[in-house]
């Protein structure tokens, strides 16, 4: 009986120690990057297209890389003649992506031009910008 208790306690101790070691691998106390969108602005480009300026900042203490995704919805036309089934202005969506790499504490403004006209966006539009950081 004592042998079983001893084996059980050793197994429990081994499992607990192993988990403790694995927990140390999950997180790092070293420098880390932290990419985030800090500002989004829109304007009309020279050709009348919608242009989005997105500022990405690395608030971490290490160089960081990721992909910036900018999603725009806009009216299907500048006049808004097309209506959705519920009677509201019909919209369309488009998404662009840009890879970004920033040193610690730096910021960069990325400019993305869409096929939508500025008038379509003005009629009924929205912007969603987010950055997905690469692991590493």
Same domain, 23 and 77: no
CATH of the domain at 129: 2.60.40.10
Sequence-separated (6 or more) residues with CB below 8 Å from residue 38: 55, 56, 57, 107
Cα 111 to chain centroid distance, Å, stands at 16
* Euclidean distance between CA atoms 12 and 95, whole angstroms: 51
* Euclidean distance between CA atoms 39 and 60, whole angstroms: 17
pLDDT (mean) for 19-38: 73
pLDDT digits (tens, 9 = 90+) for 29-79: 789 999 999 999 999 999 999 999 999 999 999 999 999 999 999 988 777
Same domain, 74 and 101: yes
Same domain, 15 and 56: no
Task: Say what the pLDDT of residue 91 is.
Answer: 84
Specify the pTM: 0.73
Q: Which domain holds residue 93?
A: 35-133
Same domain, 55 and 87: yes
Same domain, 53 and 9: no
Same domain, 54 and 117: yes
Same domain, 11 and 58: no
Same domain, 76 and 127: yes
Q: What single string gives the DSSP state of each residue in 92-117?
A: EEEEEEEEEEE-TT-EEEEEEEEEEE
Length of the chain: 136
């Amino acid at each position: 009986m004592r042998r079983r208790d001893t084996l059980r306690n050793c197994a429990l101790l081994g499992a607990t120690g192993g988990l403790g070691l694995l927990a140390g691998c999950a997180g790092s106390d070293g420098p880390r990057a932290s990419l985030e969108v800090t500002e989004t602005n829109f304007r009309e480009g020279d050709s009348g297209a919608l242009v989005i300026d997105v500022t990405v900042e690395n608030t971490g203490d290490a160089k960081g890389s990721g992909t910036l995704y900018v999603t725009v919805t806009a009216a299907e036309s500048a006049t808004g003649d097309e209506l959705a089934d519920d009677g509201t202005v019909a919209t369309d969506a488009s998404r662009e992506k840009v890879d970004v790499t920033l040193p610690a504490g730096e910021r960069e403004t990325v400019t993305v031009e869409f096929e939508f006209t500025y008038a379509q966006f003005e009629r009924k539009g929205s912007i969603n910008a987010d950055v997905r950081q690469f692991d590493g």
